[in-house]
Amino acid sequence: MFEESERFNAYLEDTTDGENALLKKVNRETYLRETMPHMLSGHYQGRVLSMLSKMVQPSLALEIGTFTGYATLCLAEGLAEGGVLHTIDINEEQQERVQGYFDESGFGDQIVYHIADAADEIARIEGVFDLVFIDADKKRNLYYFNALIDRVRSGGIILVDNVLWKGKVLDEQPDNQTKQVIELNQTLASDERVEKLILPIRDGLFVLRKK
């Protein structure tokens, strides 16, 4: 089953646009240096994020959970001319390296990198968002959604990662962490302020369009 899944993922990657040199570098160095490199969005999901961002063409975007900046760079590809992407992470140990990636890209002056607790920092960022990507502390996902929904324009997009939780959302006796993911999904599914669907990409990507 694992081998089949790997072959399927390889096929998906082979039939989409390739990674540029910088994304390959971020991918490689993340797997060399990080203890949890699977947190990286990776090639296929990165192309999905890039495509969605290009469709929205955000003037103001927000990412919660930078990690090593792979998804950040993919989202930045769709920014409108003069657009800004704010990305927030609490891990200052990665700051110098990740900022280096941003500076190396063509989006260095459009990415604002915050090292802070997102629950506090969100309120300090002014403006109405066109695109939001939530990929951080899973316990706070519903908090982030509720804190941001009124700050997203009509037609804007909110993306929430890891909503299939390695398939555990189907467990008959889910553990506590899985229960939180299930509760989040049920709450989002019943929210009439948004159109919604889950894309079964990697660990599940919830796509919500504000009405």
Prediction pTM value: 0.95
Q: What digits encode the pLDDT tens for the residues 159-197? A: 999 999 988 999 999 999 999 999 999 999 999 999 999
Q: What digits encode the pLDDT tens for the residues 7-61? A: 888 999 999 999 999 999 999 999 999 999 989 999 999 999 999 999 999 999 9
Rg, C-alpha atoms of the chain? 17
**Number of residues written out for the chain:** 211
Structure tokens at 107: 């989006």
- The strand pair at 111-115 and 152-161 is best described as unpaired
- State how far the Cα of 165 lies from the Cα of 177, in Å rounded to an integer: 9
Q: What digits encode the pLDDT tens for the residues 74-128? A: 999 999 999 999 999 999 999 999 999 999 999 999 999 999 999 999 999 999 9
Q: How many domains does the structure of the chain reveal?
A: 1
Structural domain boundaries enclosing 69: 2-210
Assign residue 109 the CATH number of its domain.
Answer: 3.40.50.150
Helices (H), 81-175: 95-104, 118-121, 141-148
CB atoms within 10 A of CB 26: 27
